[in-house]
Amino acid sequence: MPGSRALRLSAEAHHVAASILLKLGDQGLAWVAADRSMQAARASQDPLTAGSSARIITHALMSSGHLGAAMSTASNLAARLDSLGRDRAQPGSRRRVPGLPVPRPCPGATIRRDLIGVAAQAA
């Protein structure tokens, strides 16, 4: 099984590919790339990589006219990232990496803002 770093890089590469394919109007291949991005992100077990991959899934949903599903996806992920940010702020949280400072603001803040923006556009 590939390492976490390789999985994160795979997720990012597929995210970029899906983004380019959406801009070129190839929704079918964009969906394949977005799905592979999410698969790699989940396997990496990195919530921020998963958030980034969910963002391209949301864009693919929007571009194919599934605005309700895009808004739901964006809202659900934003809530999960919000929860992660609160968990990281609590001392002794299992999700916090020992030896690393608690980030302020949460590193998912940019992704949350993007997802909330996508949800607002879909509404």
Top-confidence residue, 6 or 100: 6
pTM: 0.65
**Residue 35: per-residue pLDDT:** 92
**Residue 12: per-residue pLDDT:** 95
Query: Cα–Cα distance between 59 and 54 in angstroms, integer?
Result: 9
One of 1.20.1070, 1.20.120, 1.20.1270, 1.25.40 is the CATH number of 4-122, namely 1.25.40
| Residue 87 near residue 106 (C-beta atoms within 8 A) | no
Query: Cα–Cα distance between 65 and 122 in angstroms, integer?
Result: 9
State the chain's mean pLDDT as an integer. 78
pLDDT in tens, 40-94: 998 998 888 888 898 899 999 989 888 888 888 888 877 777 666 555 444 444 4
Secondary structure letter of residue 101 according to DSSP: P
For the chain, the domains span: 4-122
Query: Per-residue pLDDT for 96 more than 70?
Result: no
Calculate helix-pair angle for 109-122, 67-89, nearest 10 degrees: 160
Q: Which of 25, 49, 27 is nearest to 38 (CA)?
A: 49
